[in-house]
Amino acid sequence: MEQNQDSSLFGLNVDQAGRAHLAEAARWARFLAIVGFVFCALIVLVGLFFGSLMGTLSGRYGGNPYGDVTATPGLTAVMAIYYVVVALIYFFPCLFLFRFATKMKLSLASNDQEVLNTSFQNLKATFRYMGIVTIVMLVFVILAFLVAFLGAMTAATM
């Protein structure tokens, strides 16, 4: 059976076209990671200034469905913690993606096999993290559906 011209006995050689695609993927991954870091920072800022933002809203629009948030430091603190946690959750896949991108760029420049493997490892970590978070969110959505369904059934039978 004729072997692929571009493969060696010991594995798949990354040819010039493959290197170009890997380099481009790494470039966009790096950009996406940096945008993600900026997004995380913005989320933290929104969380930290949540109280004053709500105060501005209530002052500007003459009423707030959540009441006067500025008079409830407890709620402001809770919302700040919530936003910081959300930012933390979003930070890690961006970090793994950034590592994938930098290590891929380094491995392509230096032909370092070890660094290439580490780069793939970071990409795997990115998708693993995203997969777990997505599944957890799905579970919450399904639970919310069930609760809403049970609530509707209970209301209908009353």
Report the interface residues with another protein, using CB under 8 A: 3-8, 10-15, 17-22, 24-25, 28-29, 31-32, 35-36, 38-39, 42, 46, 53, 56-57, 60-65, 107-108, 111, 113, 116-117, 120-121, 123-124, 126-128, 130-131, 134-135, 137-138, 141-142, 145
Q: How far is the CB of 81 from another protein (least distance, A)?
A: 20
**DSSP reduced 3-state for 50:** helix
CA dihedral 35, 36, 40, 42 (to 10 degrees): 30
Side chain identity, residue 81: I
> Tokens for 21?
């695609």
Q: How far is the CB of 74 from another protein (least distance, A)?
A: 21
Cα–Cα distance for residue pair 131/128, rounded to 1 Å:
5
Nearer to another protein, 17 or 158 (CB): 17
Nearer to another protein, 36 or 51 (CB): 36
Cα–Cα distance for residue pair 156/92, rounded to 1 Å:
44
Q: How far is the CB of 79 from another protein (least distance, A)?
A: 15
Nearer to another protein, 71 or 141 (CB): 141
Q: How many residues does the chain have?
A: 158
Report the Cα 35 to chain-centroid distance in Å. Answer: 11
Nearer to another protein, 81 or 152 (CB): 152
Cα–Cα distance for residue pair 65/54, rounded to 1 Å:
10
Q: How far is the CB of 132 from another protein (least distance, A)?
A: 9
